[in-house]
Amino acid sequence: MAAVAKDRPEPEPELEPEPGRGVRIRGFKERLKRAKSRAEAQPQPPPPPPSSEGRDVAKARGEVPEAAAVLLAAAHLLLLWALIQLSLRQLLLLGPAGPGAEQAGFSAHTARKHLQHITDFGPRPAGSPANEILTVNYLLKQIQKIQEGSAAAHSIAVDIQRPSGSFSIDFLGGFSSYYHNITNIVVKLEPKDGAKHAVLANCHFDSVANSPGASDDAVSCAVMLEVLNALSKSSTPLQHAVIFVFNGAEENILQASHGFITQHPWAKLIRAFINLEAAGVGGKELVFQSGPENPWLVQAYVRAAKHPFASVVGQEVFQSGVIPSDTDFRIYRDYGNIPGIDLAFIENGYIYHTKYDTADRIPLDSIKRAGDNILAVLQYLATSVELADSTQYRHGTMVFFDVLGLFVVAYPQRIGVIINYLVAVAAVLHLGKKFSTSINHGSHYMRDLLYGIGVTIICWFIIFVTILIVAVFVSLTGHAMSWYTHFYVSIVLYGSIALAKLILIHTLAKNLYYGVSLIYLCRSTKWTLLGLGTVFLVSATLVCSGAFFPYASDPAGPHPKRISLQHTTRTFHDLNGEIIKRDSGIWINGFDYTLMSHVTPHIPEINHTIRSSCENAPFCGFPWFLPINNFIRKNWYLPASEISPKTPVAFKLISKYKMPLQSMKLTFELTGPSHMTLYIRPLEGSFIIGSSIGDGTSLYSSDGDYFVFYSHGLQAPPWQFWLEIQTLEPTPDAMVTIAVASHYLFGEDQRTADLIALEKRFPEWCVISSWSSSYNLFVF
């Protein structure tokens, strides 16, 4: 039509001699009238049906039906889920092969026997006969057998270390730690001619009270025993030594590793270490910490490990302090100034540190893959050039992650920085090109980009607020933590409302402005939104009605509620040593958000009327085992009879000297059970300027109170320590308040008749950690 019109142009209308505005308008109206007349004279084709037109337009835009888009999104999510499961579940399958098939290397069956023997001794707190005698004797017996069967190319030396010492640590807000006569079993495997350098492998055989500690950390010691056996039988000589530390006081907040690395003569040989830990039960052992620096160590793991599994994200999260936990890695890194790798089992953390942490719950496949990895990495390091002079390879930090558990990608952090900068430059250049093109063609790329960014930010903000509102509403109904046992319920509840909000906001953006994504390629989203809304309403109704109870006692997959019970007697003294208050009760702490709300129907006495109040005393006058008082909102104090331990606490001031600069040096003596905690509060106008605890110059303070953790092995003399206190007044009446708490974690003093009777009343889905304790406060 345009070509025809160009060949036969219409004659221009005659205009008036003066080119006024009215003349131009009349000419335009005449042309419009003639064009309309010609269009009406031509036959018009029938208009297509509306639905066909819509489909053609949608097809032209590339839009797809709503059902197809939903199926595509579902397939995408299913693929992601399958890949995650593949990564988490991928274990080495042993099949029907028996122990004889493993004679050439690591034997998982032998390691499992070690694990079973160790856990058969029961809970193994440091200082208990189960830990200090039974487990130590078993390990020494197995090491002796390994010595006797060792190949001629190797030399094996064994040392039993009983260190004493003190240090401060900025964990849980910071506190000081003192230990005496704890146990380390140290084994050195080296060439016959000796070695100047060594790699360290570390595990701990002690456990928390009331748990057999199969995963944390008996399985690691069982693996290390078998790795030692496999290395000792190899006919190939090593270039460097391998030192195995079986430490007996890790659960005492890393005391045994500190005793080894700061005091043992073999410690000066160590150039790198591998620490074996657990934050769950079974599964794949994850490399979640490395360094500091020394990228060659991660590269050694990547090259040597048969079944690698690693993530630098775990390192960032763990070292950020978000997770209230720590490992011996910190001690070897900070006090030994040596690089290392931290590995831990991470699956099934629900039963970590509970009575369910038993040997039968750790799959043989998990033991096998862990043993294969540790053996291969130690063999590699014990023959590596880098270990001999690691200072040459020290600088740089590694970025590392595995791909579906198949292999590990690792590269220096500086390469990652370069990649980030290159991506940023490429993005700037791309945007600059887009901006210049849009200006030349009259489009609005900048406006569209800013609009898209704004929609995305608003979308995520609204989703966050919506999920927060739903979570608060569920909590107000008294049915929080349904996800604890029913994980997929939380996915459905919060995922449906989040996805609905996402689709709704972008659908509005499409209708009001433009389309540029998968959602915008859909012709309509009304049925999707209706379906998601229905799913949300149904799941919210079920959750808020209590259909999904948060805890489970199923032996095959327990999801227990953790509760701590301490039967304690509290005694408060004044400056003259007179008792001003004395009471006894069972102190109750719940370690999750629901506190005692689900327990009260079973034990009506545990209600708001016995909520414990904060005394005007260090740590509120209660026997905290660790300084976690700021993490727990509420606790309860149920009246009970007095405890009568056979090893009571004895605390006294043995000397008081006036020092220069208006300070006083107070020396104290303390005796009691293997675990005690001290809480120190300087009174107004007094300041602690020195002590024999920690680093000797200062203590960590938590809200004005100082926390000291004390432990000893089987036997220990009275502990003497001193504080130097400076006062504003020349002769103050009182300078400091000191409280001593005792903790009876094993033996006949651990559980009283009152504790046993109360424990029996708790429902099966509760896991109780109980012991007796005392709290004695003094003023000096």
Three-state secondary-structure class, residue 215: helix
Give the residue among 682, 680, 664 at the shortest CA–CA distance from 735.
682
C-alpha span between 163 and 258 (Å, rounded):
9
Convert 672-709 to b/e letters by CB count within 10 Å (16 or more is b).
bbbbbbbbbbbeeebebebbbbbeeeebbbbeebbbbb
Query: How many CA atoms does the CB half-sphere of 173 hold within 13 Å?
Result: 14
List the structure tokens of 342: 């931290």
| Whole-number CA gyration radius for the chain | 35
C-alpha span between 297 and 311 (Å, rounded):
14
Enumerate the active-site residues: 250
Give the residue among 738, 737, 775 at the shortest CA–CA distance from 583.
775
CB 393 within 8 A of CB 284: no
Please report the DSSP string for 252-280 in residue order.
TTSHHHHHHHHH-GGGGGEEEEEEEEESS
CB 217 within 8 A of CB 124: no
C-alpha span between 396 and 341 (Å, rounded):
15
Q: How far apart are the first and last CA of the chain?
A: 107
CB 564 within 8 A of CB 769: yes
User: Angle formed by the axes of helices 219-233 and 136-148, to 10°?
Assistant: 10
Residue labelled with tokens 């805890």: 551
Task: Using the Cα atoms of residue 161, residue 164, residue 168 and residue 174 in order, give the sign of their dihedral.
Answer: positive
What's the full length of the chain, in residues? 780
C-alpha span between 217 and 341 (Å, rounded):
16
Please report the DSSP string for 170-203 in residue order.
-STT-EEEEEES--EEEEEEEETT--S-EEEEEE
C-alpha span between 392 and 295 (Å, rounded):
11
User: Counting Cβ atoms within 10 Å, is residue 600 exposed (0-12), middle (13-18) or buried (19+)?
Assistant: middle
Query: In degrees, to the nearest 5, what angle opens at C-alpha 731 toward C-alphas 729 and 736?
Result: 80
Q: Across the strands, what pairs with 160?
A: 185
